[in-house]
Amino acid sequence: MALKLSAIITVIFALSLTLLLGQTMEKPVLTLEQCLNLAFDHNPQLQSYQAAVEEAAARTVEVRSGFYPSVNFNAAAGRYESEDKTGSRDNYQATFSARYPVFQGFRTSASYKAADANYKANQSQFLQEKSDLTLNVTEAYYRLLQTARLVQVAEQSLKRGQLHLDFANARFSAGLASRSDVLKTKVGLSNTNLALIVARNAQLVAAGKLNVLIGRAAHSPIQIKDNLEARPFSLFSDSLALRQNVDRLIEAAFRSRPDLHKIEQQLVSQQAALRIARSDYFPTLSLEANYSYSGEATSDLQGSSYIGANISLPLFSGFSRPAQVAQEKWALQSLSQQQQAVRHLVSLEVWNAFLEVKQASERIVDSQIFYENSLENLHISEGEYREGVGSMLDVIDAQTALVSAEKSHIEALADYQIALAALARAVGRDDIEEILK
């Protein structure tokens, strides 16, 4: 009796442990926000841009040191021997020295301004890369949802095809259908099975892409929350409202786009580089001071001090200075033209992204109607075939139309969410609805 009780307790414990481990190892369902946070924390490309920002920040600290004096301490000790080795003497020396650059032809302030602008440009580049990563993760997220939905459509279509085959076989056995009906149903079932294989593979490919973007191995298991439903904007009532909305979005993009901020800071940096090139035309002035102890014995050190000013004026450098200034001027003009080009590109991106949202929202409405009509048509075709007044070909055509309608609706839902993310990236802001109020 005791052995039986012990065995029962052991089995219960093993089952409990198995259930507990199963719950522990179960993969969490990730939301889009969680996927984005994982990407921000683990994506190596984004981390490299973050490192570039930190490097630029350290560079500003280095350049800022030019505003401060430099202080040094030097000490030396040695013994000097004469050539005939008739005598020797020791020498000891310790020196404190300081140097302060009073005026460097505006080079120091310009160098700091260039370094600070470069730091801000790197920050903007990081934000741009983060925005691009956000779009890529969002697209991969909804493509994975799209493929998962398409797998469900293919599985449901396979079940309907099997039911149609069973019904066709039953009618054929009863002498109410021809062998052709059975063969047509089998062909349709084979095509549906092939579609399911393709859909499942596409789902694995989409999962691999999302995994890599969030810093995981491509083959890692992943589950995400299905939020594919959409609530389209009402932004397209007429052409006037459409253009007014686009104008507001473009204005917001000019204020918010990181790449525009980046090129603005590059212009500031280039202007500073021009000032640095021109600084070679100015004299430089620095103050110097030192105090030293020296002597042949540590007990007999003599002190001396020095304080003075040093001025230097460049007179001729083989025309290198005007050539350098000309280079910086042309570089500044090139950046100015690039800024205009980027502004035009931003306005085009906003316009195209807005139209993609418009098109996707219209497709959602149309594909929903397409799906409802196709579903009703399939029910009618199945009923007519059961009554003997319809053909199996009509049923297969109706089922094909329904699958096409389901695919179109799922693709429209996914494309709409991706188009919204692309519009947010084009504008440089997430609160699109607030901008358009």
Check: CB of residue 91 under 8 Å from CB of residue 110. no
Digit-coded pLDDT (tens) for 145-182: 999 999 999 998 888 888 877 777 877 777 776 788 77
Whether pLDDT at 13 is above 80: no
| Tokens read off for 397 | 């055509």
Average pLDDT, the chain: 83
Q: How confident is the model at residue 426 (pLDDT cuts 50, 70, 90)?
A: very high
Distance CA(82)–CA(92), nearest Å, equals 18
Task: Give the predicted TM-score (pTM) of the model.
Answer: 0.78
Question: Which of 88-97, 240-249, 292-301, 396-405 is modeled with the greatest confidence?
Answer: 396-405
| Tokens read off for 371 | 């799906």
What mean pLDDT comes out for the span 298-320? 78
Digit-coded pLDDT (tens) for 397-422: 888 888 999 999 999 999 999 999 99
Range 27-72+105-285+319-435: architecture per CATH:
Up-down Bundle (1.20)
- Closest to 392 measured CA to CA, from 154, 183, 192: 183
Strand blocks (E) in 279-412? 284-295, 302-312
What mean pLDDT comes out for the span 373-390? 83
DSSP 69-97: -EEEEEEEEEEEE-TT-S-EEEEEEEEEE
How many residues would you count in the chain? 437
Locus of tokens 């299905």: 226
Angle of CA points 154, 158, 161, to nearest 5°:
135
Q: Give the residue extent of every domain in the chain.
A: 27-72+105-285+319-435
Whether pLDDT at 64 is above 60: yes
Digit-coded pLDDT (tens) for 93-117: 888 888 888 877 778 888 889 889 9
Digit-coded pLDDT (tens) for 112-129: 898 899 999 999 999 999
Distance CA(158)–CA(244), nearest Å, equals 48
As beta bridge partners, residue 79 has 90
- Closest to 210 measured CA to CA, from 128, 151, 147: 147
Whether pLDDT at 88 is above 80: no
Distance CA(299)–CA(390), nearest Å, equals 122
Whether pLDDT at 299 is above 80: no
Distances from the Cα of 120 to the Cα of 53, 127, 186, 384, angstroms: 8, 11, 65, 70
Q: What is the pLDDT of residue 179?
A: 80
Q: How confident is the model at residue 138 (pLDDT cuts 50, 70, 90)?
A: very high
Distance CA(8)–CA(14), nearest Å, equals 10
Buried b (16+ CB within 10 A) or exposed e, 144-171: bbbbbbbbebbeebeebbeebbebbeeb
